[in-house]
Amino acid sequence: MSNSRSSAIRNAPDRVREADQPRSPFIVFEADRPLKLDAGVELAPFQIAYQTYGTLNAARSNAVLLCHALTGDQHVANIHPVTGKPGWWESMVGPGRPIDTDRYFIICPNVIGGCMGSSGPSSTNPATGHPWGLDFPVITIRDMVRAQAMLLDHLGVDQLFSIAGGSMGGMQVLQWCTTYPDRVFSALPLATATRHSAQNIAFHEVGRQAVMADPEWRQGRYIFEGTEPRRGLAVARMGAHITYLSDAALHRKFGRRFQDRSNPTFSFEADFEVENYLRHQGSTFVERFDANSYLYLTRAMDYFDLAADYDGVVAKAFKGTSTRFCVISFTSDWLFPTSDSRAIVHALNAGGARVSFAEIETDKGHDAFLLDEPELLAIVRGFLESAGRARGLTTAQD
């Protein structure tokens, strides 16, 4: 972005305002509080949408930040306003759940670059009055975390009792613990890594190319031109969804069963149940997600490399940290395999951190961190209760 364009997007009134949308509360940071991006530009005004659950105690010591994954959003424990489905982590978050809304004050923001109320490529560029499209600056995981820190400052939360997230959310957890180590008492990075692998970058590039090959993408200007790259985004989602599961999970769910028939049609219709399932995943995804946001968020994951700022040594990122960690992986996760989590643990150990580690045996693949896995729920509950005792935290009123 040129200096002239950088200046152009900073020409709004100098104030911060908070308001409510039907979908989520949101905060707009105006020109006096720009978001400084790794791309070397400042974004202002910008907006963060978020959800909160529970009550912040008098000591402001019970705040838990939840970081969503690539295609998630802020609706972690409430009915989603677009899909009408339950929140993406209702097995984990709620009254009496491991992340207990009767005990903790939970904050879940929609990431910068997203499409559920936070500033992203589908937002309006104040310099033109039109959707940003590809003029929106490329963002990183660290940019997301900086924006979240600004949100917490606005909400009056100086320190987090805990922070949790899986996959891209886990990347945010790790970034938080290195960028703002004094603000995080405990951390739960789930099914994640300190950097994106070449294989995962390759998967993302296939998805991006599917979107950009759709003639309705229009070089990212589809909103302005009144089109929508539905087919390309659906194909991207179908390909990605395969990586979230495991061979065993797909076989258990579908096998080689035909869809509503006993014989093949000898055509290219969705003969098999698994084909129909993937097509359904693709078609429902495009109803709630923006295609350009998919490009931006996958690219943010690709750029993530925690060691890059520490001479390539991850342990240096955690040196001297006082944060308590619980790292969790899943045996059938081939997108972020257990070896990635073990690398996190080794780096934490080398940095002198307090860390526990669990590998959960399951055939549900990468998405296991989102599912009702009893062992996962028990580990998270136990870790937070132990951290709470160390913190002197008992109830939301403390």
pLDDT, tens digit, 9 for 90 and up, residues 301-344: 999 999 998 999 999 999 999 999 999 999 999 999 999 999 99
Residue-averaged pLDDT of the chain: 92
- CA 353 to CA 161: how far, in whole Å? 16
Residue 11: is its pLDDT beyond 90?
no
Classify residue 396: in a domain, yes or no.
Answer: no
User: Would the pLDDT of 13 be above 60?
Assistant: no
The average pLDDT across 138-147 equals 98
- pLDDT (tens digit per residue) in 37-51: 999 999 999 999 999
Domain endpoint, select from 298, 329, 363: 298
Q: What is the pLDDT of residue 265?
A: 87
Residue 284 falls inside a structural domain: yes
Domain presence at residue 263: yes
Residues 125, 167 within the same domain: yes
Count of helices and strands (H, E) across the chain: 12, 15
d(CA 96, CA 105): 13
Render pLDDT for 246-300 as a digit per residue (tens, 0 to 9).
999 999 999 999 988 788 888 898 989 999 999 999 999 999 999 999 999 999 9
More confident residue, 19 or 176: 176
Residue 72 falls inside a structural domain: yes
Q: Of residues 75, 196, 204, 366, which has the active-site annotation?
A: 366
Buried b (16+ CB within 10 A) or exposed e, 349-387: eebebebebbebebbbbbbbbbeebeebbebbbebbeeb
Q: Are residues 23 and 137 in the same domain?
A: yes
CA 308, CA 15: separation in Å to the nearest integer? 35
Claim to verify: residue 333 and residue 291 sit in the same structural domain: no
Question: In CATH, what number is assigned to the domain containing residue 65?
Answer: 3.40.50.1820
CA atoms within 13 A on the CB side of 153: 10
CA distance 296 to 285: 16
Task: Find the mean pLDDT for residues 230-234.
Answer: 97
208 and 283 share one domain? yes
Q: Are residues 272 and 166 in the same domain?
A: no
**102-125: string of b/e by CB count within 10 Å (b at 16+)?**
ebbbbbbbbbbbbbbbbbbbbbeb
Contact 358, 326 (CB under 8 A): yes
Report, as an integer, the average pLDDT of 357-386. Answer: 97
Q: Which of 242, 267, 298 is the last residue of a domain?
A: 298
Same domain for 90 and 106: yes
pLDDT at 14 over 70: no
Hey, what are 89's tokens? 């982590």
The yes-or-no answer on residue 366 being catalytic is: yes
- 356 and 242, same structural domain? no
pLDDT at 395: 54
Kindly compute the dihedral angle of the four CA atoms of residues 225, 226, 230, 232, in this order, to the nearest 10 degrees.
-10
In this structure, are 104 and 204 located in the same domain?
no
pLDDT band at 103 (very low <50, low <70, confident <90, very high): very high
Per-residue exposure over 13-30, b if at least 16 CB sit within 10 Å of its own CB, e if not: eeeeeeeeeebbbbbbbb
Q: Tell me, yes or no, whether 398 lies in a domain.
A: no
Same domain, 152 and 133: yes
- Last residue of one domain, picked from the residues 256, 279, 298: 298
The active-site residue, picked from 167, 293, 329, 332, is: 167
Domain that holds residue 224: 200-298
Which sign does the torsion angle of CA 120, 126, 128, 130 carry? positive
Shared-domain flag, residues 140 and 220: no
Question: Can 333 be counted among the known catalytic residues?
Answer: yes
Q: Which residue is catalytic, options 143, 333, 340, 367?
A: 333
Long-range contacts of 280-283 (CB under 8 A, 24+ apart): 281/237, 281/238, 281/241, 282/233, 282/234, 282/235, 282/237, 282/238, 282/241, 283/234
- CATH code for the domain in which residue 243 is found: 1.10.1740.110
Q: Does any domain span residue 269?
A: yes
Confidence of residue 132 (pLDDT cuts 50, 70, 90): very high
Sheet holding 186-190: strands in order across? 16-20, 25-29, 46-53, 105-109, 63-67, 162-166, 186-190, 324-330, 354-360
Q: Are residues 69 and 162 in the same domain?
A: yes
Number of domains in the chain: 2
What's the average model confidence in pLDDT over 186-194? 98
Based on the fold, state whether residues 222 and 343 are members of the same structural domain.
Answer: no
| pLDDT exceeds cutoff 70 at 197 | yes
- pTM of the full structure: 0.93
Q: Is pLDDT at 1 greater than 60 in this prediction?
A: no
Q: What is the mean pLDDT of residues 140-166?
A: 98
Q: What is the largest CA-CA distance in the chain?
A: 67
pLDDT at 24: 84
pLDDT at 211: 98
Rounded distance, CA 102 to CA 91, Å? 15
